[in-house]
């Protein structure tokens, strides 16, 4: 036995040695060769990734040639072409650029022309779109980050270029939408390796990939190495093996091409390892299938058959089905017998309950019939008597019952109220003589038609005191035993309805806010004048300047007051026969019969004088006018209306800048009156912000923008109630929520003004905190616009070192200690550090 045991150990050791030595040698060779092959494969892959990145950049540049071509043609002309020419130019370039989803042009006055069929929603402002902002900030072609196309829910990249006139005036922005699907197709057609996955990354988000969806495990592997900066490679751990991520920048657009390369592509021999594992898995699977087949045949199948039989049992009339024991395994026979025994007992209980139920239902039916017959016999008379009386007495319409000779036999309460009679004074009276003595012939003619009946005859009838009442009369004949016994005369009071119809007629012609005619009446009058041969007829069209800015700053209540005052100014200069109407939200129009164009211009001067006379404080009235005149029968008033509208918009463009500037000045003066320290605060803020920005490397016009932002950063407080702004104690939570709205109000004011629109983001975010706990959007870190970071530090310092209504001022040193303590929490560390150094030098 000892010899046999030793022999077995020897053979076992020999087998292990025969297996182990080849495995060890194979492993060493595998390690040496895989290292060399992997290094070469990675060098080749990195070169291919760089080539694909350059090809993507070149492809984008080629696709954007259409944008540059359109921008060059518009800039060469020096002005924006009319709509038809511009759309023709866009469609022509789009037709030779099939990869572009759409070509569009947005003007500085928010007009948007596109080949893609996109229709902006009301209130949509193209000047707030990222591509517009980026294009106007750069003097060249820019590419935006991808976004979801509003027209067909596809991801696109926008190429945009600002267009300037010969004098350097911004005319608009040319923009082209490039579908990311084409880039994805390019990536799919250009694989780095057989199993690689290519994707584009913009520093914070995935742009597109070589397929519509990526495996979550691949995304998870790549996400561990975000963000990617520069060019390089990174290992991705996958257990004992390691995949690799290669990333290079895409020239011109700031993206990075990221390629995930599986370990198997670099070292393909792993497929043999998977083959061995597959064989083992197949063997184990065969064993498990055999065990499962045995279990299913001997245990599971009989149980499932028994379950199906039990579920199929159902009750019929007075018996139950039973389970048959034939063809079942012997070990289930006892269980089948127990179930059948239980079914026998259930059948007995069922028959007893069923018998009792049948007897109870028969008794209930007999009782219900007896009770029903008694109730019907007792209630039938009451129902017949009460039904007519309830309808007659409670009807809202006045009803009287007359016999064949038109003598009143009964009236309801509504009749007595309508005609102001007592019941004793109307019974047995002739209905025609009682209420229709002023129209006796008409009333008698109706009375002769009692047998026929009349519905909804409109006329008037008299009250007891002789007052006429507008009514509708309906006559319903009463027939009994084949003879006409009389009729119901129903009087419906229609005074309120007629008054409402007249009021609706009046309202259909007038504007409710201003009291002048509305657009419907204006268009009707214009068509009537068009058909007449009278001329000269002048058309005057006016648009209220700055109304949107007033609505954003002070609410629509003040905007409505501006419209009413504007209507008053127009009404004061209107002459007898002139037609004044409000034809739009902020537009008025006048039709001036027998008026030449020169006389219409004189009327404009009168209106402008009236506007200035009615202007006071924030209520600054300014209307841009356009005038046209029909001086011959060949002139068309509708075309003249369009001409007046065109002249009005040209004048509005010339006057709009000065009006907005005047309104901004009025806003600042009003804010100074509300807070009493606005000007001094803005002056201190401007100097500190300018010095701080200069030390942070800001130069040129950006310094002027920082100075202006410091002046206007709190302009939104114009919309905060005085009781909150000047409260001598700490604000309550609700009051603080109202106070925090001032940054959003200021944003809307700046956005409504073209000259200040680029400052809107800084005004909106100057109370954000570096740690993300600020307001209004809780931005954090680098997400906060850099001008807002500068204003946050300077504003905090000035607020701490000056007296407030609810606290005393801090010293210079105490304020700097607070700035230092808030670095990295409330303030940008870089900005706070430069500010502290600057203040140390000043000190």
Across the range 484-511, mean pLDDT stands at 81
**Highest-scoring range by mean pLDDT, 217-231, 476-490, 644-658, 727-741:** 727-741
**Highest-scoring range by mean pLDDT, 286-300, 330-344, 678-692, 727-741:** 727-741
CA pair distance 822, 298, nearest whole angstrom? 76
Across the range 272-296, mean pLDDT stands at 56
The answer to whether 168 and 174 have CB atoms below 8 angstroms apart is no
pLDDT tens readout for residues 357-377: 888 888 888 788 877 777 776
Lowest pLDDT segment from 289-293, 510-514, 529-533, 710-714 = 289-293
So what's the pLDDT on residue 188? 75
Across the range 756-780, mean pLDDT stands at 88
So what's the pLDDT on residue 298? 60
DSSP 320-367: E-----TTS-GGGHHHHHHHHHHHHHHHHHHHHHHHHHHHHHHHHHHH
So what's the pLDDT on residue 1? 43
CA pair distance 792, 780, nearest whole angstrom? 13
3-class secondary structure, 838: helix
Residue 692: pLDDT above 80? Answer: yes
Residue 319: pLDDT above 70? Answer: no
CA pair distance 471, 468, nearest whole angstrom? 9
Q: What are phi and psi of 676, to 5 degrees?
A: 70, -10
Place of tokens 């025969």: 18
Across the range 468-476, mean pLDDT stands at 87
So what's the pLDDT on residue 2? 47
CA pair distance 510, 505, nearest whole angstrom? 9
Across the range 807-828, mean pLDDT stands at 86
CA pair distance 128, 324, nearest whole angstrom? 80
Residue 699: pLDDT above 50? Answer: yes
CA pair distance 497, 179, nearest whole angstrom? 60
Residue 780: pLDDT above 60? Answer: yes
Residue 3: pLDDT above 60? Answer: no
Cis status, amide bond into 58, omega within 30 of 0: no
So what's the pLDDT on residue 5? 46
Mean pLDDT of the chain: 77
Q: Which residue has the higher pLDDT, 690 or 387?
A: 690
CA 680 to chain centre: 41
So what's the pLDDT on residue 431? 86
Q: Which residue has the higher pLDDT, 192 or 435?
A: 435
Residue 281: pLDDT above 60? Answer: no
So what's the pLDDT on residue 296? 58
CA 486 to chain centre: 66
So what's the pLDDT on residue 8? 46
So what's the pLDDT on residue 829? 92
CA pair distance 279, 210, nearest whole angstrom? 33
So what's the pLDDT on residue 173? 92
Lowest pLDDT segment from 149-153, 160-164, 752-756 = 149-153
CA pair distance 516, 526, nearest whole angstrom? 16
**Highest-scoring range by mean pLDDT, 35-39, 365-369, 813-817:** 813-817
Residue 213 pLDDT grade (very low, low, confident, very high; cuts 50, 70, 90): very low
Q: Which residue has the higher pLDDT, 218 or 786?
A: 786
Residue 15: pLDDT above 60? Answer: no
Q: What are phi and psi of 81, to 5 degrees?
A: -65, 165
So what's the pLDDT on residue 783? 92
DSSP 435-471: H-GGGHHHHHHHHTTTTT-EEEEEEEEE-TTS-EEEE
Residue 790: pLDDT above 70? Answer: yes
Q: What is the 3-state secondary structure (H, E, C) of 381-431?
A: HHHHHHHHHHHHHHCCCEEEEEECCCEEEEECHHHHHHHCCCHHHCCCCEH
Residue 778: pLDDT above 50? Answer: yes
Residue 4: pLDDT above 60? Answer: no
Across the range 212-227, mean pLDDT stands at 62
Q: Which residue has the higher pLDDT, 158 or 43?
A: 158
The answer to whether 436 and 482 have CB atoms below 8 angstroms apart is no
So what's the pLDDT on residue 770? 92
Q: How far is CA 106 from CA 120, 290, 463, in A?
A: 12, 72, 69
Q: How far is CA 682 from CA 40, 311, 794, in A?
A: 64, 85, 11
List the one residue out of 618, 625, 621, 663 whose CA is nearest residue 644: 625
Residue 206 pLDDT grade (very low, low, confident, very high; cuts 50, 70, 90): low
Across the range 614-618, mean pLDDT stands at 76
So what's the pLDDT on residue 615? 81
The answer to whether 205 and 226 have CB atoms below 8 angstroms apart is no
Residue 257: pLDDT above 60? Answer: yes
CA pair distance 230, 249, nearest whole angstrom? 6
Q: Which residues pair with 174 in a beta bridge?
A: 105, 161
The answer to whether 197 and 220 have CB atoms below 8 angstroms apart is no
Residue 785 pLDDT grade (very low, low, confident, very high; cuts 50, 70, 90): very high
Residue 207 pLDDT grade (very low, low, confident, very high; cuts 50, 70, 90): low
Within 8 A by CB and 6+ apart from 128, the residues are: 751, 757
End-to-end CA distance of the chain: 101
Residue length, the chain? 843
Q: Which residue has the higher pLDDT, 343 or 331?
A: 343
Q: Which residues pair with 173 in a beta bridge?
A: 106, 162
Q: What are phi and psi of 518, to 5 degrees?
A: -100, 180
- Rg over alpha carbons for the chain, rounded to the nearest Å, is 45
pLDDT tens readout for residues 98-108: 778 788 889 98
Lowest pLDDT segment from 440-454, 561-575, 675-689 = 675-689
Q: Which long-range contacts (CB under 8 A, 24 or more apart) does 383-390 make?
A: none
Q: What is the 3-state secondary structure (H, E, C) of 733-755?
A: HHHHHHHHCHHHHHHHHHHCCHH
- pTM value is 0.40
Q: What is the DSSP letter of 512?
A: T
Across the range 133-138, mean pLDDT stands at 85
Residue 30 pLDDT grade (very low, low, confident, very high; cuts 50, 70, 90): low
Q: What is the 3-state secondary structure (H, E, C) of 251-320?
A: CCCCEEEEEEECHHHHCCCHHHHHHHHHHHHHHHHHHHHHHHHHHHHHHHHHHHHHHHHHHHCCEECCEE
So what's the pLDDT on residue 29? 56
**Highest-scoring range by mean pLDDT, 12-21, 287-296, 396-405:** 396-405
């Amino acid at each position: 036995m000892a010899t046999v045991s030793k022999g077995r150990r020897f053979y076992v050791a020999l087998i292990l040695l025969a297996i182990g030595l080849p495995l060890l040698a194979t492993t060493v060779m595998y390690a040496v060769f895989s290292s060399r092959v992997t290094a070469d494969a990675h060098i080749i892959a990195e070169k291919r990734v760089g080539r694909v990145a350059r090809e993507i950049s070149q492809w984008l540049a080629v696709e954007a040639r259409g944008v540059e071509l359109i921008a060059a043609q518009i800039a060469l002309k020096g002005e924006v072409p009319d709509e038809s020419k511009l759309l023709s130019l866009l469609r022509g370039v789009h037709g030779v650029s099939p990869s572009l989803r759409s070509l569009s042009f947005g003007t500085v006055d928010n007009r948007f022309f596109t080949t893609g069929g996109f229709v902006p929603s009301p209130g949509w402002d193209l000047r707030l779109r990222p591509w517009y902002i980026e294009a106007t900030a750069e003097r060249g072609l820019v590419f935006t980050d991808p976004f979801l196309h509003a027209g067909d829910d596809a991801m696109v990249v926008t190429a945009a270029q600002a267009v300037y006139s010969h004098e350097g005036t911004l005319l608009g922005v040319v923009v082209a939408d490039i579908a990311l699907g084409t880039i994805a197709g390019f990536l799919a057609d250009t694989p780095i390796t057989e199993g690689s996955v290519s994707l584009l990354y913009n520093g914070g988000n995935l742009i597109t990939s070589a397929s519509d969806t990526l495996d979550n495990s691949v995304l998870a592997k790549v996400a561990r190495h975000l963000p990617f900066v520069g060019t390089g490679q990174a290992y991705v751990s996958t257990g004992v093996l390691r995949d690799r991520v290669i990333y290079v920048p895409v020239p011109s657009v700031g993206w990075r091409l990221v390629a995930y390369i599986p370990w198997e592509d670099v070292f393909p021999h792993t497929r043999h390892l998977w083959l061995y594992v597959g064989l083992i898995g197949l063997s184990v699977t065969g064993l498990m299938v055999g065990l499962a087949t045995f279990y299913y045949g001997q245990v599971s199948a009989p149980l499932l058959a028994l379950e199906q039989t039990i579920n199929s049992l159902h009750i019929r009339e007075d018996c139950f089905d039973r389970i048959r024991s034939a063809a079942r395994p012997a070990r289930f026979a006892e269980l089948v017998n127990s179930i059948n025994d239980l079914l026998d007992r259930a059948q007995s209980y069922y028959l007893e309950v069923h018998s009792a139920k049948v007897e109870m239902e028969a008794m209930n039916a007999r009782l219900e019939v007896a009770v029903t017959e008694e109730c019907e016999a007792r209630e039938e008379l009451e129902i017949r008597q009460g039904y007519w009386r309830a309808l007659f007495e409670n009807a809202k319409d006045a009803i009287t019952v007359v016999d064949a000779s038109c003598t009143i036999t009964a009236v309801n309460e509504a009749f007595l109220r309508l005609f102001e009679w007592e019941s004793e004074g109307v019974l047995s009276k002739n209905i025609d003589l009682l209420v229709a003595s002023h129209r006796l012939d008409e009333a008698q003619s109706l009375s002769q038609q009692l047998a026929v009946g009349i519905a909804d005859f409109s006329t008037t009838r008299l009250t007891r005191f002789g007052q006429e009442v507008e009514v509708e009369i309906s006559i319903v004949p009463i027939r009994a035993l084949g003879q006409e016994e009389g009729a119901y005369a129903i009087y419906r009071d229609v005074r309120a309805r007629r008054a409402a119809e007249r009021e609706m007629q009046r309202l259909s012609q007038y504007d409710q806010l201003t009291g002048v005619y509305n657009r419907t009446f204006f268009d009707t009058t214009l068509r009537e004048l068009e058909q007449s041969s009278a001329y000269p007829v002048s058309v005057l069209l006016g648009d209220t300047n700055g109304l949107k800015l007033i609505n954003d700053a002070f609410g629509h209540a003040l905007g409505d007051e501006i419209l009413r005052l504007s209507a008053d100014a127009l009404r004061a200069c209107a002459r007898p026969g002139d037609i004044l109407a409000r034809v739009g939200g902020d537009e008025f129009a006048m039709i001036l019969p027998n008026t030449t164009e020169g006389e219409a211009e004189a009327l404009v001067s009168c209106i402008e004088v009236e506007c200035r006379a009615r202007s006071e404080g924030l209520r600054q009235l300014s209307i841009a006018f356009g005038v046209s005149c029909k001086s011959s029968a060949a002139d068309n008033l509708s075309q003249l209306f369009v001409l007046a509208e065109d002249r009005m918009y040209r004048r509005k463009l010339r006057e709009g800048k000065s009006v907005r500037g005047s309104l901004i000045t009025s806003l600042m003066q009003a804010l100074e009156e509300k807070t009493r320290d606005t000007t001094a605060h803005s002056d201190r803020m401007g100097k500190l912000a300018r010095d701080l920005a200069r030390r942070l490397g800001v130069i040129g016009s950006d310094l002027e923008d920082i100075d202006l932002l410091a002046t206007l950063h709190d302009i939104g407080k114009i919309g905060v109630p005085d009781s909150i702004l000047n409260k001598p104690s700490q604000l309550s939570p609700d009051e603080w929520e109202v106070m925090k709205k001032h940054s959003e109000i200021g944003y809307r004011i700046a956005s409504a003004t073209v000259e200040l629109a680029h400052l809107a983001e800084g005004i909106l975010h100057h109370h954000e905190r570096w740690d993300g706990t600020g307001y209004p959007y809780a931005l954090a870190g680098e997400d906060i616009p850099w001008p807002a970071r500068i204003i946050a530090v300077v504003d905090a310092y000035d607020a701490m070192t000056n007296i407030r209504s609810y606290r005393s001022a801090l010293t210079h040193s105490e304020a700097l200690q607070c700035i230092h303590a808030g670095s990295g929490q409330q303030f940008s560390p870089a900005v706070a550090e430069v500010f502290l150094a600057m203040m140390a030098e000043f000190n």
